[in-house]
Amino acid sequence: MEWIADPTAAGGWIRDRLDADWSMHHFVPHGSPAYARIFHPTEVRSLPDRRVPTTNEWSRMPDAEQQRLVEMLVATPASWADAAAAFGTTMHAFAQWQRLVRTSSDGDWHPSIAPDGREFSSPNMGSISPELLAAIAGRLIEHTTTPDAGFVAVWEGWGGLVGAYGSTGRGFIEFTDETPKPMRWRSLRGSFEMPFRQAKWQPGILSDDISKGPRFELPDRDHVLFSAAPTMFADPEWILDAPWRDREAESHGFSPSAQHPSILWPADRAWVMASEIDFDSTIVAGSEELIRAICTDPAIEALLVPEGASLHWDADEINR
C-alpha cells in the first residue's frame, strides 16, 4: 500500500455522491443498484445470579462445576438476531441496538442484561474484526474486475495515527518499581506551569510527510488515503502489511494492530464499503449480485437496505 498524495483525484467521485444530511448517504455514495447493512457482532456471557463466587465458594466447587462456570463467564460471539431472540424484539434491516435490547434513550446499554440473565455487550462502533472483514472482502473481490487495485481510506482522528502539535491523542504509561526520576516530574509540571509556550510537533504512527500532507476530505470526516489491493483484506493478517500498523504499541508489548479501514473500494468502482466511526454497522454499496452474496453468507449478518435509508439511532420504528 502506498500513500495517495492527491486524494481528490482518486476519491473525488465518492464525495460528489454524498449528501449533507444524516442519512446513510452522508457516508455512503448514492447511485449503486443495491446496498447491504452488515451488523457488527456483539458478545454474550452468562453470569449465574449475576454474582461471581467467593474464593472459598470456588475452592469447594467440583472441577466440573468450575469448568461450567468458567465457560459461562467467557464471552462468546453473538449476532443481533441472537439478541433480538433473547430480548423478545424483532430483528430487521433498520434495527437499532438500543431498541433491540429494550433500553430507554437515556439508559445504559453497555452492556444489556436479557430476561434469561445473559449479558450482551454492545457492538463495536466503526470497526469489525479482521476475520469478519476477511469474510466480507472475500465476497467483494468476487465482484470487481480489479481485485488487485483499489483504495483504502483511514479516518485521521484515530488516536496517534497522525502527528500533531502538542499531542497525538494517546500515550503509554509504564509501571515499574523504580522511584520516578525528578526530571520526569519537572517535565510534567512544566506543561501546566507554561501553558502558553509553543507546542512541539509530536510524531504519529504515520510519517511526518503523510501527517502533514493533504487529506481525503468528506463531509465531517477527513481521511488518509492509500492505494490498496482489495484482495489483501481477504486475509485476516492484512494488518501486518498496513502502513498504519501500530509498531510503537507493539514495542510496549501489545499485539500487532492497525485501525480498521473506514472506506474501501476497487479501482473499477464496482462497490464501496464504508465503516463510519459512529455506526454499529458497515454499509456496502454495489451490484445486486454482490449484495445478495453478502446477505446470504452465513459468516456475515447482513440485510438489504434501500437507497436513502436512515440509520439514525431513532430509526427503529418496530422495536419502540
Residue of higher predicted confidence among 86 and 181: 86
233 band by pLDDT with thresholds 50, 70 and 90: very high
Write the pLDDT tens digit of every residue in 137-169: 999 999 999 999 999 999 998 888 888 877 655
181 band by pLDDT with thresholds 50, 70 and 90: very low
Least confident of 187-201, 207-221, 297-311: 187-201
176 band by pLDDT with thresholds 50, 70 and 90: low
Residue 50: the pLDDT is 52
Residue 59: the pLDDT is 77
177 band by pLDDT with thresholds 50, 70 and 90: low
- Of 277, 213, 247, 239, nearest to 4 (Cα)? 213
d(CA 240, CA 84): 36
- Asked if pLDDT for residue 107 goes beyond 70, the answer is no
d(CA 189, CA 184): 9
Q: Cα dist. 47→50, 70, 71, 106, 114 in Å?
A: 5, 10, 10, 25, 11
> Average pLDDT of 69-88?
84
183 band by pLDDT with thresholds 50, 70 and 90: very low
Residue of higher predicted confidence among 29 and 52: 29
